[in-house]
Structure 1
C-alpha cells in the first residue's frame, strides 16, 4: 500500500517524493524534490496537478487506492512544466473521461508538449468549478513563473493549491510544516524564491493581494511541505522579498587561479567584518550557484572577483554572471575586483555584468597585477570597510 495522506476532509496528498534528486536544471537540491499532487473527493472528483513522468505509475497507484480512476471528473493543471504535468498523458489513458482544466496558455502548452487534444476546460481569473460541498476557484498568476501559471482555491476547506508559489525543494516523510524543522523549511523556501521566482519579484505584490481576498487554512504547494501552522510567516517573507527587503550582509563571490584573487577576497571580507556588517564568502569551484543566490536574496551588497584569463573572466565566473543576470536580484549595491598577469579585463566585465543584472555598481579600482603587495592588501581591506558602510546606510 502506498502512503496516501488525508490533509483535510476529502482531500488527499497523492504525489511523489524524489529523495535522490540532486539537481533541478542547475539548481542544487541536496534535500531532494517532491512532486505534489492532490486529490479532492467530493460529489465531483478532482485531481490537482500530476507529477513528473517517471513517477506516473506511483501517482496512479496512490489515486486508485482512493477512487476508481474512471470516476475522475477533472484534472486541474495549475502549471504545465514537466515536473508538474508530464504524467498527464499516463493519467488520461486511465481516466479518458476527465476534463483537463487550465488557462488558455496552459492549453497551448499541453497540446504542444504531448500532441494531444484532450477535453479541455479553459478557465480565467474568478472562474469556479462546483464540486459539491466545495467550489474550486481559480486565481491566475501569469509569469509566476510561466505564462500559464495559476493557483486553485478550495472553498469550505479553505486550501490554496499554490503550485510553484510558496514551494521548497525538500523531501520529508511528514507532509506538514509543523511536523518538520521549520528553520530548514524556511531556508529552502528562501532558496526556492531566490532561484525560481526572483526574476518576477515585481509581480509578487499583486499575487499576494489576490491571496488576501480569501481565508486560508492551508497552502498546498507543488513542491515541499504543506503550510498550515506557519502561513503568516511565509506570507510575510514573500511580502518582504517582493519589496526588495535586504539587511547589511555583503556576499563576496570569487574564483581564483594562483591565489591572488582569493587573497583579495579574504582581505575585502575582513574589511566588511570590521564595519560590523555580516559577510559571506563563496568560491565558485566549491559553492553551488543556487546556494550563493540564497545568500544574496536578503543581502544588501554583492562583490564579485575573478582572475583574468584570455582577457576575460574565469569560466566558472562566466557561468555565474549568466545566472545572476537572469535572476536580477533587486535593491543591491555591487562591486568587482580582479587579479591579472600581463593584461587585465576581468574587472570591467564583472562591473558590466552587475549592471546588466540591475545592480548598482560602486567602482573599486581593484584590478591588481600578479600578487597583492602589503599596500594592496590594505587597499582591499579599506574598500571592504567603506563598501559595507554604504550597504549599512542603505539597509531597508
Structure 2
C-alpha cells in the first residue's frame, strides 16, 4: 500500500504520510508524531463559537473518572494559515469532580517543538479573576534537540493522568527520555506535576531561577538534580536549539523566567502574554475574540506588576522572537508585535502616575499571593501604580527602598516562624514615612503574624491605617476577594482624592463644562451578581444603542466596585427609577459603602428571571442585559450590552431625569 499525500504545504522541515489506520508527521531530524486515524470530538462550549458542537464521549465509573486516553484524534484547524495546517492529537474527554470537562491537545508549533495543551473547558473563574467564563488552558512544551530533550513546564494537578500519558506518548514516539525540565515558575497550575514527572524521569535536570529551585524543594519533598540559571545563561540542546534564559520576576510570580530558543524564535513566557480562553484554535488567529480576554487577564495579573512588565520587555527587546509560547490560552503567532506592544503601552500608562503603593506578600504561603494580587488589582483600577515584593525572597534593602518611595503600603501577614520575613518586617517599619496610608490583611496561612501586632507597629511609627486589619476566617471565596479588591480601591482613592478633584476641575473650559452639563439623562441603578458576590451603582450615562439586536450602552468608571462584575459575557440588571419615587433608592446607593458591605441591606429586591441579578422592587421598570463588548476611555469603560428581557412595573410612571450645572461631576 502506497502512502497517501496529506494536504500540507511542502516544507523541508516536515513530511507527512497517511497509511490506513494511522498518520505520521516526521521532522527533518527523524523525530515523529504518529497518530491513529480515529477522531475524538472536542466538547461543546456554549461560551465559545470556535469549538465543534459534536458531543464528546466521556468515560466515567461511579463517582470516580476512569481515564482512557488513546493516541488518536487528528483533526484540522481551519483558523491556521497554509503553512500551519497541521493536524493535532486530541485525547478523550474525561470528567473532573463530576462537572468539569478535561482534555489534552498535542500539536507541533515549530521545528522539533510541540505543545501539550491541557484544555480545562469548564474552569469557571480563577480566584481573583471574576470574568473567567471561557475556561482556560495550561500549556506545556517539548523541545527535541539533536542531543537533549527539554520539557517546559507541566500542568495542573487535575490533569495528572492525561498530561503524563500525553508526555509518555510523545517521548516514546521520538525514542527519547527527558533530559531537562524547565520550570518557568512554581505556581501550582504549572508546576504541580513536577514531582510526578521526576518520578518517571529521575535523571532529568530541573532548570529554574535560584528562587524557583528553593520553592521547588518545598513542593517535591525529595532530592532532585537541578541547575540554577540567571539572565543570559544558555543551555544547548543540539541541532540549533540554544535556549537563553531571561529573568522576569513578578510576572506574576517572584521566580518567573522566560526561555528563548534561538533555533526557532520561540519565546516561552509562562503566565506573561496569556489569556484564560479555552479553544481548539491554538494560536491568536481570531484576535478580535481573544483581545477582551487578553486585556482582562493583563488587568488581573500583570497590571499590578506594571513596573516588572516594563523591565521584562526591556530585557527581551533585542531577542528575535516570532512566536510566544505562553502558559494559558492561545499562543501568539499572528499578532506578536501588536499584543506585546499592548503590554508595553498599558504598563507605561500606569507608570506615568507619581503615586505608588507597595504590596508586600509571601509567595507560597497560604492565600497571601492571591489576596495580595486582588488588593493590587483594586489599587490599579483607580489609576495608582503598584510594586509587588515577596517578603520571603526580596532583599531587605529592596524592601526599604520600595517602602521609602511609596505613598501607600499593603502588608499581608507573613508566617510568624520565618526569619527572613521578620528581618524584612523590621526593615520596612523603619522605612515608613509619616502618614503613609497602610492596609494590613491576614493571609489565611495558618501561621500568620497577628495582624493587630502588625497594626500597632505601623501606628507607632506614624503610619496611618486606612481601616481595621482585614481578617479571613474561612477559605477565601468570592465575597472575600470582593472585600479585598474594594479595600485596594479605597486605598487608591484616599491617596488621590485631592489630585482627582483638581484634575476634574481643570479638565475642560468653564463654558464647555456648563454646556456639556445640558445633556440630560435618566437615573438608574445597575445591579450585578455572580454566585455570592453582588454589587450595585447609580448610573446616568446610559443610552439605547441598537434595534437589532436590542442594545444599550452604559459607562462605568474604572474604579467602581461593580466593574469587576461587568466584564464581557457578564449579565446585569438596569433598574429605572421613577421621577416621583427615585429619592430613597438613589440616596441609599449613593452612600459610601465600606469594603465588602452588603449594598442591598434594607432594600427590597428579587432575582431577575433570566439572569438572577437583583431587580429592585422600588423601580418602575427593569432590563436584563449581557455585556457584549467594551470600549476603553481614560477613566471609564463604555459597555455595549444586549438586552435579554425586561418588564414595566408602573406603566404610568416616568423615568427620573438627571440634570447638572457643570459636567466635571456626575
Q: Cα distance 1:151–1:314, how it changes in 2: closer, same or farther (>3 A)?
A: closer
Aligned to 2:245: 138
Q: 2:142 aligns with which of 39, 49, 71?
A: 39
Deviation at 1:63, TM superposition (A): 1.7
- Aligned residue among 49, 58, 65 for 2:169: 65
Question: CA–CA distance in 1 between the matches of 2:566 and 2:128?
Answer: 8
Distance (whole Å) between structure 2 residues aligned to residue 264 and residue 290 of structure 1: 12
Matched-pair contact (CA < 8 Å) for 1:195–1:290: no
Q: Give yes or no for the alignment of 1:215 onto 2:320.
A: yes
Match of 2:277 among 164, 170, 185: 170
The Cα shift of 1:283 comes to 12
Higher gyration radius (CA): 2
In the TM superposition, what is the alpha-carbon distance from 1:119 to its structure 2 partner?
0.8
CA distance in 1, matches of 2:566, 2:185: 22
Shift of 1:382: 5.1
* Equivalent residue for 2:342, pick from 222, 232, 237: 237
Q: Which has the higher contact order (CA 8 A, sep 6+)?
A: 1
1:227 has 2:227 as partner: no
Output one character per residue of 1:335-359: Cα deviation in whole Å (capped at 9) or x when no partner: xxxxxxxxxxxxxxxxxxxxxxxx9
Q: 2:226 aligns with which of 86, 104, 120?
A: 120
For residues 193-247 of structure 1, what are the alpha-carbon distances to aligned partners after superposition, in whole Å with 9 as ceiling and x for unaligned?
A: 000111111222221122211101100100011111100110111111111279x
Matches within 5 A, 1:40-119: 40-42=143-145, 43-68=147-172, 71-119=177-225
Deviations 1:77-118 (A, max 9, x none): 001000000011111111111010011110111112232231
Change (3 A) 1:285 1:186: closer
- Counterparts of 1:1-396 in structure 2 under 5 Å? 1=71, 3=89, 4-27=106-129, 28-42=131-145, 43-68=147-172, 71-133=177-239, 134-178=241-285, 181-244=286-349, 265-267=538-540, 269=541, 279-280=555-556, 288-289=564-565, 291=567, 306=589, 308=591, 312=594, 315=597, 378=658, 381=660, 385-387=663-665
TM-score normalised by L of structure 2:
0.42
Give the drift of 1:316: 5.4
Report the 3-state secondary structure (helix = DSSP H, G, I; strand = E; otherwise coil) of the residue aligned with 2:171.
coil
| Aligned 8 A contact 2:138 2:189 in 1 | yes
Deviation for aligned residue 1:66: 1.7
CA contact under 8 A between 1:12 and 1:38: conserved in structure 2?
yes
Partner of 1:351: none
Change in Cα spacing, 1:212 to 1:308, as seen in structure 2 (3 Å) is same
Structure-2 change in CA distance of 1:312 and 1:169 (3 Å): closer
After TM superposition, the structure 1 stretch with the greater mean CA deviation from structure 2, 58-67 or 192-201, is 58-67
Q: Distance in 1 between matches of 2:209 and 2:152?
A: 14
Q: Contact 1:52–1:82 (CA<8 Å) still a contact in 2?
A: yes
Would the aligned equivalents of 1:56 and 1:91 in 2 still touch at CA under 8 Å?
A: no
**What displacement does 1:289 show?**
4.3
Q: For structure 1, which segment, 199-208 or 149-158, has the greater mean C-alpha deviation from structure 2 after superposition?
A: 199-208
CA contact (8 A) 1:191 1:290 kept: no
Displacement of 1:280: 3.1
**Count of aligned pairs:** 304
Q: Deviations over 1:146-178 (max 9, x none)?
A: 110011001110100011110000011121112
| CA 1:155–1:284: 2 relative to 1, 3 Å | same
1:183 Cα deviation from its structure 2 partner: 1.1
1:289–1:146 Cα change, 3 Å? farther
CA distance in 2, matches of 1:193, 1:306: 30
CA distance in 1 between counterparts of 2:554 and 2:590 reads: 25
Question: C-alpha distance in 2, partners of 1:26/1:10?
Answer: 36
Give TM-score, length-normalised by structure 1: 0.68
Shift of 1:264: 7.3
Partners of 2:557 and 2:563 within 8 A in 1:
no
Aligned position for 1:393: none
Larger helix proportion of the pair = 1
CA distance in 2, matches of 1:143, 1:286: 27
TM-superposed deviation, 1:308: 4.9
5+ residue gaps, structure 2, are 1-70, 73-88, 90-105, 352-380, 383-481, 487-522, 527-535, 546-552, 571-587, 600-633, 636-655
How far apart are 1:45 and its partner, in Å? 0.3
> Are 2:128 and 2:300, in contact at CA under 8 Å, matched by a contact in 1?
no
Say if 1:18 and 1:265 are closer, same or farther in 2 by CA, change over 3 A: same
